[in-house]
């Protein structure tokens, strides 16, 4: 049974940092991604990382501020978020593909989703 469990969300002031974690179980050799959804907006791609961790992909809105990484020994993917802005406020979801699909941005490429963790950035 596949399970993704996120943690690390919270309330932070603009300019601050947070690190999200997502522990995966029941999967092998899979691409991982982070998506977010703000109220009244569609879910959007944030970042993705290949199984090896060598390849990463970022949305333009977070490039240079966010870093995705993974520790396969711990079955964990991280999203380090620096220089946070109020517009980063959203529910953040980690997602896993059923196999190594590189660093796809397409949400329908991901078969498994976590429950979400809220990130709120105050101005």
Question: How many whole angstroms separate alpha carbon 62 and alpha carbon 36?
Answer: 12
28 — pLDDT class (breaks 50, 70, 90): confident
Question: How many whole angstroms separate alpha carbon 92 and alpha carbon 20?
Answer: 9
pLDDT surpasses 80 at 29: no
If one counts every other C-beta atom within 10 angstroms of the C-beta of residue 34, the result is 26
DSSP state at residue 58: E
Question: How many whole angstroms separate alpha carbon 11 and alpha carbon 108?
Answer: 29
82 — pLDDT class (breaks 50, 70, 90): very high
What torsion do the CA atoms of 95, 76, 87, 116 make, to the nearest 10 degrees?
50
Q: List pLDDT tens digits, range 36-80.
A: 999 999 999 999 999 999 999 999 999 999 999 999 999 999 999
In the numeric block, the tokens 């990130």 are attached to 119
Higher pLDDT, 108 or 28: 108
Note the pLDDT of residue 114: 96
Query: Which residue, 87, 43, 38, 96, is CA-closest to 61?
Result: 87
Across residues 106-119, what is the average pLDDT? 96
């Amino acid at each position: 049974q596949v399970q993704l469990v996120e943690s690390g969300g919270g309330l932070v002031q603009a300019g601050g940092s947070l690190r999200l974690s997502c522990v995966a179980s029941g999967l092998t050799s899979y691409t991982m991604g982070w998506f977010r959804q703000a109220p009244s907006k569609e879910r959007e791609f944030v970042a993705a990382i290949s199984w090896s961790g060598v390849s990463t992909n970022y949305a333009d809105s977070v490039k240079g501020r966010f870093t995705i990484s993974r520790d396969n020994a711990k079955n964990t993917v991280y999203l380090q978020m620096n220089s946070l802005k109020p517009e980063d406020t959203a529910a953040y979801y980690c997602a896993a593909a059923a196999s190594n699909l590189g660093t796809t941005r397409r949400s329908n490429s991901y078969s498994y989703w976590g429950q979400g963790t809220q990130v709120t950035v105050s101005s």
